[in-house]
Amino acid sequence: MSGYASLAGVDEAGRGPLAGPVVAAAVILPAGIGLSEVDDSKKLTSGKRDELFEVIMANALAVGVGVSDAGVIDRINILQATLAAMKEALSLLFIKPDYVLVDGISKIPVTIPQKTIKKGDGTSLSIAAASIVAKVHRDRLMVSYDAEFPQYGFAAHKGYGCVDHLKAIAEHGPCPIHRMTFSGVKEHVKIVKSEE
C-alpha cells in the first residue's frame, strides 16, 4: 500500500491443532522487493517453506514472532490467544510499522492503523511472508517437543488431530503441551488431573 513508510504483514500458524502453541509472525519487507515464490504457507512443501524462511529472514527489514502456549489458549480461548501472539509479534519488530495488514477478519488490539484481509496470505506478499515465518517457527517448536514427548509423534503431525495422534492421547493421556479445552483432548484430561 502506498503512502506508508513501513507496512507489516501479520499471520499465524497453529490455530487448529490439539497440542502446542499458536505462533504469529509480523514481517516488514522492503518496498518493491520481488519474492515471486513467497505464497500462502499452506500451498508450499515443508522444504520450500524452510528455503523461503531463510530468504525472508535475510531480506526483511524486520521480523517479530509471538507465541501463545497451550496454557494461554486454554485460559483465554484460541482467538484471544492468537490475537495476543499477533500483538506480541508486532511489539517485537524493531521498526515500528505505521500500517498493519492482518490475515483473517479479527483486528489486533493495537493502536496502529490496520486492515484485516480474508485469505490475505494469498494476496499480500508481507502476509504470505509472515505465514511462512510463523509456520516454520511453529513446526520447529513441535519437532523440539517431539524429543521431549516422543510417544505422541509431534514431529510428524505437528499437533494436529490425525488418527495416530488421537490414539496416542487415548493411550497415554494428554501431556503438558496439549490444549486441555479442545475436543479430542478434554475427554482424556482426567488421566492427568492427579499429577497436577
The answer, yes or no, to whether residue 192 has pLDDT greater than 70, is no
- With 50 as the cut, is the pLDDT of residue 114 above it? yes
Query: Whole-angstrom Cα distance, residue 141 to residue 130?
Result: 16
User: Where do the domains of the chain lie?
Assistant: 7-147, 149-193
Q: Is residue 2 pLDDT above 60, yes or no?
A: no
Q: Using N-to-C axis directions, what is the helix angle for 46-59 and 125-148, rounded to 10°?
A: 120
pTM: 0.93
Q: Please state the rounded mean pLDDT for residues 84-96.
A: 97
CATH architecture of 7-147: 2-Layer Sandwich (3.30)
Nearest C-alpha neighbor of 71 from the set 196, 190, 160? 196
Closest C-alpha to 56, from 31, 29, 32: 29
Q: What is the pLDDT of residues 18-54, one digit of tens each?
A: 999 999 999 999 988 888 888 888 889 999 999 999 9
CB 129 within 8 A of CB 141: no
